[in-house]
A = this chain, B = another copy of it.
Amino acid sequence: MVARVQPSVAPQSRLAAPGAGKVGEVSALDEVGSLQHETLGERVTGELRALLIAGRLAPGEKLSLRRVAEALGVSMMPVREAVSRLAADKALEVLPGRAVRVPVLTLAQFRELTRIRLVVEGFAAEEATKVITEAQIAVVARHEAAFLAAAKDPPDPAAAVGANRDLHFALYEAAGMPSLIEMISRLWLKAGPILNLDMRHEPKRLDGGSAVVAHAQLLAALRRRDPAAARQALVEDISAAAEHIERTARLAE
A residues with a Cβ closer than 8 A to B are: 1-9, 11-12, 14, 34, 36-37, 41, 45, 47-48, 51, 57-64, 67-68, 71-72, 80-81, 84-90, 96, 109, 112-113, 115-116, 119-120, 123, 177-180, 182-183, 186, 190
Please state if A6 and B64 are interface contacts (CB–CB under 8 Å). yes
Once the chains are docked, how many angstroms separate the CA of A171 from the CA of B253? 27
From B7, B64, B120, give the contact of A120 (CB < 8 A): B120
Q: Say how far A179's CB is from chain B's closest CB, in angstroms.
A: 5
State whether A183 and B180 are in contact (beta carbons under 8 Å apart), knowing that A2-B72, A60-B11 are contacts in the complex: no
A3 surroundings in chain B (CB, below 8 A): 71
In Å, the complex CA distance between A84 and B180 comes to: 21
B116 engages A183 (CB within 8 Å): yes
* Further 19 A-B residue pairs, CB within 8 A, beyond A9-B61, A119-B119, A179-B190: A2-B72, A5-B63, A6-B61, A6-B71, A9-B62, A11-B58, A11-B59, A45-B88, A84-B88, A86-B88, A88-B88, A88-B89, A90-B182, A112-B180, A115-B177, A116-B180, A116-B183, A119-B120, A183-B183
State the oligomeric state as a number of copies: 2
- Identity of the chain B residue whose Cβ is nearest the Cβ of A127 in the assembled complex: B115
Which residues from chain B contact A72 at a C-beta distance below 8 Å?
1-2, 5
Taking a contact as CB atoms closer than 8 A, the residue among B6, B34, B36, B89 that contacts A68 in the complex is B6
**A19-B50 Cα distance, complex, nearest whole Å:** 31
Query: How far apart sit A62 and B90, CA to CA, in the bound complex (Å)?
Result: 27
Contacts of A9 in B (CB 8 A): 61-62
Q: Which residues of B contact A4 (CB under 8 A)?
A: 71
A142 to B84, CA, bound (A): 36
Within the complex, the shortest CB–CB distance from A9 to chain B, in Å, comes to 6
